[in-house]
Structure 1
């Protein structure tokens, strides 16, 4: 097993200062929180706009969900090279401004009477590309900003706050769509990205990692990132387990607007509240991840949680009126609790293992697998929904989620501390 890692990056100011008093980290933290709140509103508003205003069916909703994530399949690996060659803060600001412009096109087209599914598909693709570049740059800039010895604490704050925005944003999204309409909700998300870009100006701008005098080609650098990942069995296990979970989550959630709002007749705010239960789960998981990591280690925690959360996955397909709605929401909370823990512990493991000069490319390779699985899950949800109905998608997601412990038990990750 490859165990290549780079020594901790010396960051005296960050090491001596509480994280939220360190100006650079605080700016990154606030920028992520603000744009995260708006993005969660859009995750509710965009499919609801398609279903309620444009009459989209299960296949169209599934495609809308998939397009943003399948962008990674085309652009993910070159984007990793770009991140490793470029100034990462500048890329994050550019991604924020671009996402704001894309989102603004939706309310403008709506108010002019020209909005259609084609434009929503284009928005999904462009938003996926912008989010991919932003996230790759953010995860790559963090070790140099806070130091590798503080990654778990920094990730706990970032993931926990993102989960809080998940709860607030999805709940707010359902309420906003019902009160003022989906176009206005998307307008608010656009403004949140502009606010994020303003905060990012205060994040220190590290120089791009040193490259050899004779620059390697993009293909060669992509191959280096892929080779590093495939040479480390812990990273491979993380990818496979994450891909299974990421394939399952859209199967369990993409067709909820069709099932809850159209078939069961619930108002839009119920969908927002259901999804917000997942945000609470992620928040609780990220807040307690360091306790699990300290007591059990990252690998053992991952294995035990994967086994413990398998049975609740089979509750979600029974979602219906009455008590089954609450039971399914509780099961959704449990599954996302696991995600909150994993997002802190396993992202920190990745950031410790991967050297600074490889962070963009190796993380791009991992993201290609993980986000590609989300896109595939969205497409599969649409196909299953069209052929056998929305509940078939929920059952498929439950089975895949329940088996996602297998890569952990078959790898050295189960002993990883």
Structure 2
């Protein structure tokens, strides 16, 4: 088989390839920000655990506030792609304001909070529009393959982003490292401007339009179980992530470069998870993949608060935890993404995704705040134990539902698969 024959069929289609390329580059930039902004707070502005909690909450609070209204708005629009381009440009401008302020010796924690909130709000709008754009590009029978490719990009970003971010912080300082992230948003906007898929027609404005997405989520049994499991993971996982950089740099003594390398090396597991996810779904079904993915994501993180001893042992334990967890998270992301795309009708897609993200991601700022407060009150390591153990039990929400026994993706009644 020639080299072209090894390329996944979706990547041979120019429109999807441009969409995927823009997403891949933007995701890599996001990983730089995930390193650079917390490190700017810690290393440049001397933030403590409570301040880190507020910073993470500012980044995540828009998911709680804006998913519903933005989803309702997006379902009424004919051009969601144009809105996505505008959000990319807005995020680039906000991120660039940080190195400018630093160069002028005017950077403050308040500005970090404002930029984190603004980028989070624009990201919410991007994601609810992206759900509709995705189904305009991909036929139903290729949802698992497309989600594997997109999540493979996310894994590649996890692989390259933290390492590059850590090195940029090491040599350029944290604020100037953010210039790279701003450039990736501009590249993403450029690729989106070069595609023109036929998007689903706007939904008519009817009575209950604003709340229909929330009502759809709550009355669908499988969605309720998935929301409960995912929301539990989000709450505890963001307790964990709020304190991880602070814990690794202060208690474990890792520098920015070594921390980035550990995360990047561990992200090889994410890349493998994305590659394997299609085979896992075929072997054990979409429901079994959800259960395996949730456990594979959460169980390895129990190693993080166990880390201690010689530097070599600490680095190995962190690598192992990140590697195994990234395998699990890719499997669950591909399974969840494919399930939602197949189940939700086009007419309410943005509203349902907005409602799901409101219910689900709304736990993130709560987890960040609780993590910051507990980290200050009882210490970093005890809080990480609470966060990692709590996340493992999220899988219990799935077991009484139909999800674990589901082999195939559900079919939307009365709707045909979109044509790529």
Match of 1:81 among 66, 72, 77: 72
Gaps of 5+ in 1: 1-16
Instruction: Give the alignment of 1:223-242 within 5 angstroms.
Output: 223-242=211-230
Does residue 54 in structure 1 map to residue 45 in structure 2? yes
Does residue 333 in structure 1 map to residue 323 in structure 2? yes
2:297–2:326 contact (8 Å) kept in structure 1: no
For 2:309 and 2:113, the matched residues in 1 are separated by 31
1:88–1:206 contact (8 Å) kept in structure 2: no
For 1:308 and 1:337, the matched residues in 2 are separated by 7
1:313–1:401 contact (8 Å) kept in structure 2: no
1:414 aligns with 404
2:416 aligns with none
2:4 aligns with none
1:190 aligns with 182
Between 264-273 and 231-240, report the one with greater CA deviation: 264-273
Instruction: Give the alignment of 1:260-339 within 5 angstroms.
Output: 260-307=248-295, 311-322=299-310, 323-339=313-329
Instruction: Give the alignment of 1:12-411 within 5 angstroms.
Output: 18-86=9-77, 87-207=79-199, 209-212=201-204, 215-216=205-206, 220-307=208-295, 311-322=299-310, 323-411=313-401
For 2:28 and 2:293, the matched residues in 1 are separated by 27
Give 1:207 deviation, angstroms: 4.6
TM-score by length of 1: 0.91
Aligned in 2, Cα 1:332/1:187: closer, same or farther, shift over 3 Å? same
For 1:61 and 1:247, the matched residues in 2 are separated by 16
The 3-state SS of whatever aligns with 1:405 is helix
Between 59-68 and 120-129, report the one with greater CA deviation: 59-68
TM-score by length of 2: 0.90
2:75–2:203 contact (8 Å) kept in structure 1: no
For 1:110 and 1:321, the matched residues in 2 are separated by 37
Give 1:143 deviation, angstroms: 1.2
Give 1:250 deviation, angstroms: 2.0
Give 1:399 deviation, angstroms: 1.4
1:299–1:408 contact (8 Å) kept in structure 2: no
Aligned in 2, Cα 1:216/1:278: closer, same or farther, shift over 3 Å? farther
Between 351-360 and 327-336, report the one with greater CA deviation: 327-336
1:14 aligns with none
2:307–2:318 contact (8 Å) kept in structure 1: yes
For 1:122 and 1:72, the matched residues in 2 are separated by 15
Between 89-98 and 226-235, report the one with greater CA deviation: 226-235
Give 1:139 deviation, angstroms: 2.0
The 3-state SS of whatever aligns with 2:267 is helix
Aligned in 2, Cα 1:207/1:365: closer, same or farther, shift over 3 Å? same
Gaps of 5+ in 2: 1-7, 408-420
For 2:268 and 2:231, the matched residues in 1 are separated by 22
For 1:400 and 1:244, the matched residues in 2 are separated by 8
2:217–2:224 contact (8 Å) kept in structure 1: yes
Give 1:21 deviation, angstroms: 2.0
Q: Provide Cα deviations, 1:279-326, integer angstroms capped at 9, x if missing partner.
A: 323222221111111011111222244446654332221123431442
2:413 aligns with none
For 1:346 and 1:416, the matched residues in 2 are separated by 12
2:67–2:357 contact (8 Å) kept in structure 1: yes
Aligned in 2, Cα 1:224/1:403: closer, same or farther, shift over 3 Å? same
Give 1:51 deviation, angstroms: 0.4
Give 1:57 deviation, angstroms: 0.3
Between 237-246 and 167-176, report the one with greater CA deviation: 237-246
Aligned in 2, Cα 1:113/1:311: closer, same or farther, shift over 3 Å? closer
For 1:35 and 1:175, the matched residues in 2 are separated by 18
Give 1:208 deviation, angstroms: 5.4
